[in-house]
Chains A and B, each alone.
Chain A
């Protein structure tokens, strides 16, 4: 090959170079700290505008409010590491929520079983999605859509569209009502309503989930392999990694964490409210994607996901205290997500 001719005006190139470098710096700064800056600004503005916003109670409130979202979003994030995008998480959470309540109220199950069984069901739903993805080569996202409907349908069939609570009443087939024999146990409720020292239990659960999943993704070989599978499946396979196994693992984890969120929801409300989990879907996914833009990661990561959840939690809390109707809050969530996606996109292209 013949080397290319050097040519053109070097002076102009330098000017463009400098301009590019300044732009680069700005992009790098935004992609690293953009979300933190947004959190800081929101926090400052709300603290000034709202008396009582900057208080221990309110901060605890915010953390408790985002705990369930974060746990589900952690599952979404772990799935995304292997490109296993799952839209059924909220439906799985709903199903798990109903199962947890139903097991205790109707089947007199002890609390540990009422927690464990829904988690297993969540994992199974995930592995089913993985089966369709791998066996029939359906897109992860597309394969999760039918499972969303199915999980939702199973939930509604199981509950009959009713809320499940302690000693609930259910219409009997022959007329009249049946009273449920069981109640949601106190030890179970502690998962959603209790405190450890001054910290609400769900916040402890969330922090534990963050710690474990962060270590799992960043410090174990499985985490590496998950990222490799999502980063470039062909290259990962050619490096000897059993990529299909990791795709299954990703979906199972997503399903199990979604179910955990559902169980926490039941513990929080002391009942399983029909369709209560479904509003969480977009928040969880948004938190995961905002996470891409945290510290310039450019890929799914747990710290980012938590930061994303915090950002949205602060916003919702502040807007609510400002009496901005809940119906309008989604507009702001959309704008934040848009900004985060833009930042991570530009950062990735650089």
Chain B
């Protein structure tokens, strides 16, 4: 019988963490009692995951201290964290399981690694022992110990990791967005498991930004904002509204506000019931010329999937896309570009740029065909002039077109990623500009310039789709706002009726004001 005895609680005291240029977490106090489910919530970038990683021993150093029952422990490696009784269940559980080994082998992996001279494996005995262990863990499972880990569903894999944690004698288990990729049924089953863990005295840190499930499962809720702790509240004393207010904090910074708002342009893009199983759930939208359409939602709400589908980077199962009153069939990014639809992808270094090449190469990449004449020879002069134009107009800070992109700052990299489409729009008319979280990881100055660029593009007659999880910037720039939650568009607001509270309520799965 496995029971967490004797442990009272985990105390994080003034815990902080800096990364180059950013203080991700600053002086956070938090207590996880044995036998409670403690939810940790906060907007994107609030520091939740950084905190979870510190507890899991993912960093070699951090500020402050962590005590378990008053005894300070140094969580400087995953092994140290495990020894201290802290086990994380990551979003990507695959990284801690060996896919081609069986459930039994994955369960007994620690033992095998330290096996004392037992080279010969008796499989039937091995499986019997694994089944015994499963029984001991007292967690309901539907799979057999001989199943390969790779053949388990995501929920089952999570369960396997939890079971391993329990068997290992963990006192604290951290769930980081565990339901992000689970179906309703699977999520319910997971909650059952979590409750059973709590009832046997295990302390649980539950990270999520979905209000309904937080209120369903948590005993207490701690709110982070901008790397600091705002408050810890007892769930039954508060409402979802209260928590959302804590997450948002002070009213908005007004500096990004756009002066004008024109929605008078003609209809440009119409999307009808776009669908792809598990990615985009019957999304319809329309976009006018000269309009900035903001699409927000929390991480994992389906914004990126929608953007990629509109651009033809991923296939769709159903739905129609109409451009300027004509149905278009976009099956690849190439088709999209031919139709004047451009995407600035989310991961600029992986998807938006060739970081090993120089600025000029990147800027002219989509347009190089237009700069080349007979036998495909590139007209260097034409290309060079356009590239210089783009560098000037986007104010890309670089030593020249010959500078390698890898050596630029994040903001200038992003401007290069945007610039290649802007330049392409000069040689072949562009119509729709999709930005997928363009300000991620860029400094304030570059952010402002990216906003300015979006406005300029809208003024030039582009329809601009601006996707971001950052409600402030969405509100500052957009003429109209769509909110996504679980791969669906759940609300549409125009500029005047949108408030951060309303947006966040929809984005966290709540309905119209309660």
Task: Tell me the A residues contacting B by CB distance below 8 Å.
Answer: 1-5, 215, 219-222, 224-225, 227-228, 231-232, 234-242, 298-299
Contact = CB atoms under 8 A, between A and B. Distances in A.
B387 to A, nearest CB: 13
B378 A224 contact: yes
Contacts of A3: 21-23
B455 interface: no
Interface of B: 18-24, 26, 45, 226-227, 311, 313, 332-334, 336-338, 343, 345, 350-357, 361, 365-366, 368-369, 371-372, 375-378, 380, 420
11 contacts: A4-B18, A219-B378, A219-B380, A220-B377, A224-B361, A231-B356, A232-B354, A232-B356, A235-B353, A236-B354, A240-B333
Nearest to A227: B357
Contacts of B336: 240
Contact of A238 (B226, B311, B368, B378): B311
A5 B18 contact: yes
Nearest to B343: A238
B381 to A, nearest CB: 13
Given A221-B369, A235-B354, A236-B354, A5 B23 contact: yes
Contacts of B345: 238
A234 B334 contact: no
A225 B368 contact: yes
Looking at chain B's contact residues, is the secondary structure mostly helix, strand, loop, or mixed? mixed
A1 B226 contact: yes
A253 B369 CA distance: 21
Contact of A241 (B45, B313, B365): B365
Given A238-B313, A238-B345, A241-B365, A232 B337 contact: no
Contacts of A219: 377-378, 380
Contact of A220 (B24, B311, B337, B372): B372
B20 A235 contact: no
A222 B355 CA distance: 19
A219 to B, nearest CB: 5
A234 B352 CA distance: 8
A220 B352 contact: no
A227 B24 CA distance: 37
Contacts of A227: 354, 357, 361
Contact of B378 (A220, A235, A241): A220
Contact of A232 (B18, B343, B350, B375): B350
B352 A238 contact: yes
A4 B23 contact: yes
A222 B369 CA distance: 9
B23 A238 contact: no
B376 A222 contact: yes
B337 A240 contact: yes
B22 A1 contact: yes
A31 to B, nearest CB: 13
A222 B365 CA distance: 11
Of all A-B residue pairs in the complex, the 4 with the closest CB atoms, nearest first, are A240-B337, A220-B376, A2-B23, A231-B354
Contacts of B355: 232
A235 B416 CA distance: 13
A2 B26 contact: yes
Nearest to B420: A239
B368 A4 contact: no
Given A220-B376, A232-B354, A239 B20 contact: no
A227 B356 CA distance: 10
Contact of B333 (A221, A225, A239, A298): A239
B376 A2 contact: no
Contacts of A225: 368
Given A2-B226, A3-B21, A220-B378, A241 B334 contact: yes
A85 to B, nearest CB: 17
Nearest to A2: B23
A82 to B, nearest CB: 13
A217 to B, nearest CB: 11
A229 to B, nearest CB: 10
B314 to A, nearest CB: 11
A2 B376 CA distance: 50
B351 A240 contact: no
Contacts of B22: 1-4
A219 B372 CA distance: 9
A298 B404 CA distance: 12
Given A224-B368, A228-B354, A232-B353, 19 more contacts: A1-B24, A1-B226, A2-B23, A3-B22, A4-B22, A220-B372, A221-B376, A221-B378, A224-B365, A227-B357, A231-B356, A232-B355, A234-B350, A239-B337, A240-B336, A240-B337, A241-B365, A241-B366, A242-B332
